[in-house]
Structure 1
Amino acid sequence: MARNGPFPCSQRGQPTDVETTNGTRVSTLFRELARARGARAFHPRGRWFAGELTTLSPGALPLPEGTRPVTVRMSKGAGVPGAGADVLGLAVRVPAGDGRGGPWDLALSASGIGWLTRMVPLPARGWGRARYGSIVPYRSGGRLVWLLAVCAGDDPIAPASLETLCRRVAERPPLLVLHEGTAWDGWRPVARLVLTARTRGPDPRPCFDPMRNRPAEVEMAPRGFAALRERAYHGSRLGRWSVDSPSE
């Protein structure tokens, strides 16, 4: 994938000197961390899967209609080895279509589901027990909207081992339900995601970046934090490109 994302960043004025300085520091920190790890600064090790995303009903976010093939990466946030509990991650690349000029990257991490805890990354002991949230909301149509993916049927898919997950996908493809939630409303199912098979990842493997790869009418909020998060992704990419990393 090209290093420059297909969608513009949020439209606002020129950054202040403080914002520029903070952004540079964040970029440098994540670059050095990625360089030291020889992988992503966070979620350094993962596994790739082919999947299918099916929209169930229209929501606040412009998910594609019908069923689409997607690329999925499941990962451990801190890179805890083996079956140790970690902030588990679910990244989904929705391909271009429905008028979008590029892909849409959904980057979700294990979190809470309450009004406050949905913004807090939380470790989980099993892939099926985690609640995969966007952590920060999207701003769409004047509303703040969070995404949350949960395994259907209270499927534990435990422990939190990447190899356990791979075996499970081969034996019985797991189903996750994607929900939308606002600051004041409950969660509403809008799509389902099935992991159909493990893959070795596309070549070249995509750099998931939810800040750049998103529909033009959707932005991440709040804007100041989103700008710093974009610099973090940028720094992590630079650190990874500086080493020959075999990580998934």
Structure 2
Amino acid sequence: MRRLAAAGFRGLARLRGARAFHPRGLWLRGEAALLPVGPLPGAGGSRPVTARLSKGAGLPGAGPDVLGLAVRLPAGGGLDGPWDLALSSCGIGTATRCLPLPAADWGRARYGSLLPYRVAGQLVWLLAVPYGGPAGPAATGCLERRVRERPWRLALLARPARGGWLPAARLTLHAVLSAGEAGRTSFDPVLNRPAGWEPVPGWLAGLRESAYRGSRSGRRTPRDPAGRPGRR
């Protein structure tokens, strides 16, 4: 199954000349302010983040799509390495928080981890909720204009299997990055995660990692024989 997933995503990425899914995106810079006492590792203080907003199927214009929010928290402050959050528009109910759902507006979507983490023997889901005003229809150009006018803010919440959503951090995205400024950042939430935070179920996390690996491989170009992640 993992080989098939890798091969399928490699082929799709090669055909598109970009990521198999979320092929085009808007790169942003900002900060994450983790709560001093909260459910996330390395809690407390503010740190710079790199984020990417995208549409899952890559549909043009402002039509509804599964919207993606990827965020990289750098190492330091209690994190041994970078932590990549890969969140998708979803519901917030017991069943719908596990399903990617199309959304028509960046500011009205709810961005969830879909798969939980196992932390200290219990399951934990993550959810990012925009606040502070509208962000515009689901076109990256609309969001870019919004961020150039004023920062886009989101609350990051965590929910254990037993309990409600708990505030964990505040994300502020305030600067648009060019492809060159974004560099070769490539998000991988399965590999880049805190110690003790295990994506579950394991078999699905394994398939997901194979898909990421296949997509990265499919984006190789003659000028990039090592298959380093592209800048899209």
TM-score range, shorter chain: over 0.9
| Structure-1 residue corresponding to 2:150 | 172
| Structure-2 residue corresponding to 1:194 | 172
For residues 126-169 of structure 1, the C-alpha deviation after alignment (integer angstroms, 9 at most, x for no partner) is 0001000000001111111000001114x332211100000000
Contact 1:38/1:243, CA 8 A, preserved across alignment: no
| Structure-1 residue corresponding to 2:37 | 58
| Structure-1 residue corresponding to 2:206 | 227
| Structure-2 residue corresponding to 1:11 | none
For residues 63-120 of structure 1, the C-alpha deviation after alignment (integer angstroms, 9 at most, x for no partner) is 4420001001111111010111111011000001134332110110000001110000
Contact 1:60/1:141, CA 8 A, preserved across alignment: no
Aligned mate of 2:137, from 140, 144, 159: 159
Contact 1:35/1:242, CA 8 A, preserved across alignment: no
How many positions carry a matched residue from both structures?
Answer: 226
Contact 2:83/2:193, CA 8 A, preserved across alignment: yes
SS of the equivalent of 1:32 reads helix
Q: Provide the C-alpha distance between the structure 1 equivalents of 2:24 and 2:11, rounded to a whole number of angstroms.
A: 17
AA at the equivalent of 1:183: A
Contact 2:64/2:103, CA 8 A, preserved across alignment: yes
Q: Which has the higher contact order (CA 8 A, sep 6+)?
A: 1
| Structure-1 residue corresponding to 2:197 | 218
> Is 1:143 the equivalent of 2:118?
no
Give the TM-score normalised by structure 2.
0.92
Aligned mate of 1:108, from 87, 92, 100: 87
| Structure-2 residue corresponding to 1:78 | 57
Give the TM-score normalised by structure 1.
0.86
**C-alpha RMSD of matched pairs (Å):** 1.7
Q: Provide the C-alpha distance between the structure 1 equivalents of 2:99 and 2:36, rounded to a whole number of angstroms.
A: 27
Q: Provide the C-alpha distance between the structure 1 equivalents of 2:183 and 2:86, rounded to a whole number of angstroms.
A: 19
AA at the equivalent of 1:51: G
For residues 178-216 of structure 1, the C-alpha deviation after alignment (integer angstroms, 9 at most, x for no partner) is 000122321111100001110114453211000101112
Gaps of 5+ in 1: 1-21
Contact 1:145/1:180, CA 8 A, preserved across alignment: yes
Q: Provide the C-alpha distance between the structure 1 equivalents of 2:222 and 2:16, rounded to a whole number of angstroms.
A: 9
Q: Provide the C-alpha distance between the structure 2 equivalents of 1:47 and 1:203, rounded to a whole number of angstroms.
A: 10
> Is 1:41 the equivalent of 2:20?
yes
> Is 1:184 the equivalent of 2:162?
yes
SS of the equivalent of 2:15 reads helix
What is the deviation of 1:54? 0.2
Contact 1:45/1:247, CA 8 A, preserved across alignment: no
Gaps of 5+ in 2: 224-228
| Structure-1 residue corresponding to 2:226 | none
